[in-house]
Structure 1
């Protein structure tokens, strides 16, 4: 059903991804789909990496671990931005096209009051792209 599943990940919150990773593992194996893990970061030092090369290496390691654990084909796609907070939605929409994703699977949170004032990334992506979007809420 799906050939390429794009999964945006925030390596700062890896512990909150387990449920969505389980879902993508199941879908990728069932459809024999390739998974593309996308990480968006600054080129400047962050708490995750000191530079783009280190960020790419950490995202690649994360991707290899998930591929081994779940048994699906995977690749990583690091994206760099001068302001990831402001540009995240735009960068993700561009990356959907670049990687040729036919499904975007995103971890999400339980809605709260701020979601009525500020749109969350999952709902923005779902309303602004032509690709199917699967939002996975942690149990």
Structure 2
């Protein structure tokens, strides 16, 4: 059998379990089955916006990226089996655009991400999944959260 997927991108927020609770196990299963590289990704805010940059400490963007990478590495060590080839990636800026940029950069064959049954707090995540699904060059699997939230 040919391995369809070689690189699987999983965008998530390590601090927000709903962004990975269902999607990450699905991606791990696919990575294992296809012997693919699993790339966990988080996106941190961009602080050095010209209008406000003069009011912020120097190097804040780098500190945000480092903090995001540390949180992602902790999650990866806890949740991803050592038998899966994996890595951590950090984007910075607008979440949907960064996911698409990273997918192209790493030549992802598949993006696996979470979506939820809409509640007021979930519209942002749902909008991001919809945007990525419409604009990605690769296949996108949107994993709907289970019934545990009901």
TM-score normalised to structure 1 length:
0.78
Structure 1 residues 115 and 14 mapped into 2: Cα distance closer, same or farther (>3 Å)?
Answer: closer
Q: Deviations over 1:69-115 (max 9, x none)?
A: 7x31110001122xxxxx21111111111111010000111146899
Query: Is the CA contact (8 Å cut-off) linking 1:67 and 1:73 kept in structure 2?
Result: no
Count how many residue pairs are aligned between Structure 1 and Structure 2. 127
Within 2, Cα distance between the matches of 1:18 and 1:115? 14
5+ residue gaps, structure 2: 48-62
1:74 aligns with one of 76, 86, 91: 86
1:137 aligns with one of 121, 138, 144: 144
2:32 maps to 1:29: yes
2:102 maps to 1:90: no
Aligned Cα root-mean-square deviation (Å): 2.6
Q: Which moved more, 1:57-66 or 1:18-27?
A: 57-66
Matches within 5 A, 1:105-120: 105-111=112-118, 120=127
TM-score normalised to structure 2 length:
0.73
Partner of residue 53, structure 1: 66
Q: Shift of residue 16 of structure 1?
A: 5.2
Q: Secondary structure at the match of 1:79?
A: strand
Q: Shift of residue 54 of structure 1?
A: 2.5
Q: Shift of residue 42 of structure 1?
A: 2.2
Within 2, Cα distance between the matches of 1:34 and 1:3? 6
Q: Shift of residue 14 of structure 1?
A: 2.1
